[in-house]
Structure 1
Amino acid sequence: MKTEVIAKKTEKKAMKKIITYIVLLILVFVSAIMVVFQVFEYRHDYRELSSFTREKDDLNAEWGRLLIEQQTFGATAQIGTRAVTQLRMYSPPAGQTVVISLPITSEDKK
């Protein structure tokens, strides 16, 4: 009778060990899968960040070109204003305009 009780206790201990190992094994696999998903999300977010950074650099370059264009147009208006005010330049009327045309050669007709 004692041997049966001892045998049952050892069987229960062995069963508890097996269940504990199975639970621990399942937890290890679950944590491994979670690590894989976290790495996947990190790489996806990093790719998205890289594309946003590239887009930001492209927009900054375009902004620089637009600033240069704005300065160019501003300088053109300033040059025209200075030509009129300081040098007293003006556009001549149609009566003072002379149009010079070159004679047409046979090579130009081709």
Structure 2
Amino acid sequence: MNNNNNDDILSSGNKGLKKVVVYAVLVALVFVSAMMVVFQVFEYRHDYRDLSAYMREKDDLNAEWGRLLIEQQTFGATAQIGSRAVTQLRMFSPPVAQTVVISLPMTSKQDK
């Protein structure tokens, strides 16, 4: 009977130790899980900040692209006007021999 009591005490002691170890492991796992959540939130915010910067850069580049397209159309229209003037209106630049440069006489106001 004395032997049974010792076995009961040892087995209850082992059960208590096993419970403490299981609880300690569970607490450690909860702590690791919480740290992983914190790390994931940090990564999400960092990636979102990068995404926002890239989206702003994309918007700026799209605006610049639009301005460049307008500039290209403007220069294209100038060339088109010149070609239409030559073909439809038969306009041309005179040769140097037919060009006359007129200079205005200096007035007293221009001397000052």
Q: TM-score scaled to structure 1, two decimals?
A: 0.85
Q: CA, structure 1 residues 109+3, in 2 after alignment: closer, same or farther (shift >3 Å)?
A: farther
What secondary structure sits across from 2:102 in the alignment? coil
Q: How far, CA to CA, are the matches of 1:39 and 1:68 in structure 2?
A: 43
Of the candidates 45, 55, 58, which is equivalent to residue 56 of structure 1? 58
Query: CA offsets, 1:4-59, max 9 Å, x none?
Result: 22211111111111101100000000001100111111111112211221222122
- One-letter amino acid of the structure 2 residue matched with residue 79 of structure 1: I
The gaps in structure 2 that reach 5 residues or longer are none
Once residues 31 and 107 of structure 1 are traced to their aligned partners in structure 2, the CA distance between those partners, rounded to angstroms, is 88
> Superposed, which structure 2 residues align to 1:1-110 within 5 Å?
1=2, 2-105=4-107, 108=110
Distance (Å, rounded) in 1 between the aligned partners of 2:111 and 2:27: 91
- What's the CA shift for 1:86? 1.3
1:6 and 1:76, CA in 2 relative to 1: closer, same or farther beyond 3 A?
same
What is the CA deviation profile of residues 40-82 of structure 1, one whole-angstrom value per residue up to 9, with x for unaligned ones?
1111111221122122212211221121111111111110011
Deviation at 1:90, TM superposition (A): 1.3
Report % sequence identity: 70
Aligned residue for 1:88, secondary structure, equals: coil
- Distance, in Å, in 2 between the alignment partners of 1:107 and 1:51 is 58
Note the C-alpha offset of 1:103. Answer: 3.7
